[in-house]
Amino acid sequence: MTSTVECDLLIIGAGPTGLYAAYYAGFRGHRVAVVDSLPELGGQITAMYPEKQIFDVAGFPGIKGRDLVEGLVQQAGSAKPEYLLDRTATTLETDDDGVTVGLDDGGSVRAGAVVITAGIGKFSPRPLPAGEGWVGRGLEFFVPSFAPYAGKDVVIVGGGDSAFDWALHLEPVASSVTLVHRRDAFRAHERTVQQVRDSSVRIITKAQVTALRDTQGRTGPGGGALAEVDVEVAGETTTLPAQAVVAALGFIADLGPLQQWGIEVSKRHICVDPAMRTNLPRVFAAGDITEYPGKVRLIAVGFGEAATAVNNATVAIDPGAKVFPGHSSEEG
């Protein structure tokens, strides 16, 4: 038996922007529901870098990803949102009175308006060609906690921000850290690259990991735990001890069913106007998923867009309402 959740405002995406939108929806007096395809709140931060320090959130010189999410969840709690986690929004239909969103479990949500805060959409890590069959046996794509790497020889594959951030944070915890990248240029922030260069992390460039082996020398699925890896540089192979490999090769983003909803999309982003309206009535968007002239993709920007989207959605829900509700400091 399927069920329908009814609310004033539905938020699709439970990352930082979505959580702040939930809080602001409560501030505007709305009943709010939040749907997300991930099983936990926090979006990419929770899934990919909960231990990473974030430096561009106003009011915090630096804050760990998990601590930021914890604060946002507590703030959103004032709205008493109904969370629909581990469920994907599959269909969207609008009419004169509201929006109906179908979910992959057969349920649906009926709302007066929708704010899409889905970040980059659903994402999956790019695979490490030599790593087939090794996930969970020493190969991982994300580092949600540093503790499991204590005392281990760790090989990180990649040259982006995540690779260098994890190398920097694992260096004091692991027995050794080696970063392997196929080019001698990096996509990571220059400051972080220099910090890693100044550490004990070994950096091997113009290289690739060609094999992973267990303690018995086996390279395929079904063997034991990881013991070493082969790294090829200029046609020569070097074997390194490794009880853990982190493949930080980026991820593949997919907007999924959203692309079939009739929303105007440009290069995997939703086009919005200054009020965060999409081309569909009663459907708004905020955060990294949006596109407009001058767009800057920062968490801090997403917070402002969330407030703009919720305030304008409020008028769509109740034409007699004002876009600007006053300041929260005036309440109580």
Report whether pLDDT(216) > 80.
yes
Report the C-alpha gap between 221 and 235 in whole angstroms: 26
**Which of 19-33, 44-58, 73-87 shows the lowest mean pLDDT across its residues?**
44-58
Q: Distance of alpha carbon 127 from its chain centroid, rounded?
A: 18
The pLDDT mean for the chain works out to 92
* Number of structural domains the chain divides into: 2
Asked whether residue 168 falls in the same domain as residue 258, the answer is: no
Element (H, E) at 1: none
- Supply the pLDDT for residue 250: 82
* Band (161; pLDDT cuts 50, 70, 90): confident
> Does 89 carry a binding-site annotation?
yes
Average pLDDT over residues 67-89: 95
> Does 49 carry a binding-site annotation?
yes
* CB contact at 8 A, 148 and 138: no
Q: Beta-carbon neighbour count of residue 25 at 10 Å?
A: 31
* CB contact at 8 A, 118 and 90: no
Asked whether residue 230 falls in the same domain as residue 272, the answer is: no
* 3-state SS class at 260: helix
* CB contact at 8 A, 98 and 113: yes
Mind listing the pLDDT tens digit for each residue in 267-320?
889 999 999 999 999 999 999 999 999 999 999 999 999 999 999 999 999 999
Asked whether residue 161 falls in the same domain as residue 241, the answer is: yes
Element (H, E) at 64: strand 63-64
* Band (1; pLDDT cuts 50, 70, 90): very low
Tokens found for residue 52: 């990473």
> Does 184 carry a binding-site annotation?
no
> Does 142 carry a binding-site annotation?
no
Domain of 306, CATH number, reads 3.50.50.60
Report whether pLDDT(51) > 50.
yes
Mind listing the pLDDT tens digit for each residue in 102-151?
999 999 999 999 999 988 766 678 899 999 989 989 999 888 788 999 99
Report the C-alpha gap between 37 and 321 in whole angstroms: 32
Report whether pLDDT(181) > 70.
yes
> Does 113 carry a binding-site annotation?
no
Position 180, amino acid: V
Asked whether residue 39 falls in the same domain as residue 76, the answer is: yes
| Last residue of one domain, picked from the residues 189, 212, 247 | 247
Domain with 263, as residue range(s), is 4-123+251-330
Asked whether residue 214 falls in the same domain as residue 147, the answer is: yes
| Last residue of one domain, picked from the residues 194, 228, 247 | 247
Asked whether residue 136 falls in the same domain as residue 180, the answer is: yes
Phi, psi of 282 (to 5 degrees): 70, 10
* CB contact at 8 A, 30 and 135: no
- Supply the pLDDT for residue 219: 86
Helix 16-27 to helix 299-317 angle (10° resolution) is 40
Tokens found for residue 175: 């027995």
Report whether pLDDT(332) > 60.
no
Asked whether residue 177 falls in the same domain as residue 147, the answer is: yes
| Last residue of one domain, picked from the residues 219, 247, 275 | 247
Asked whether residue 81 falls in the same domain as residue 219, the answer is: no
Higher pLDDT, 247 or 219: 247
* 3-state SS class at 2: coil
**Which of 27-31, 208-212, 257-261 shows the lowest mean pLDDT across its residues?**
257-261
Question: Which of the 8 DSSP states describes residue 5?
Answer: E
pTM for this prediction: 0.76
Tokens found for residue 11: 């938020």
The burial of 128, by beta-carbon neighbours within 10 Å (0-12 exposed, 13-18 middle, 19 or more buried), is given as buried
Asked whether residue 103 falls in the same domain as residue 85, the answer is: yes
Asked whether residue 45 falls in the same domain as residue 146, the answer is: no
The burial of 144, by beta-carbon neighbours within 10 Å (0-12 exposed, 13-18 middle, 19 or more buried), is given as middle
- Supply the pLDDT for residue 331: 64
Asked whether residue 133 falls in the same domain as residue 226, the answer is: yes
- Supply the pLDDT for residue 326: 74
Q: Beta-carbon neighbour count of residue 320 at 10 Å?
A: 5
* Band (39; pLDDT cuts 50, 70, 90): confident
- Supply the pLDDT for residue 254: 72
Asked whether residue 50 falls in the same domain as residue 154, the answer is: no
> Does 329 carry a binding-site annotation?
yes
Position 323, amino acid: V
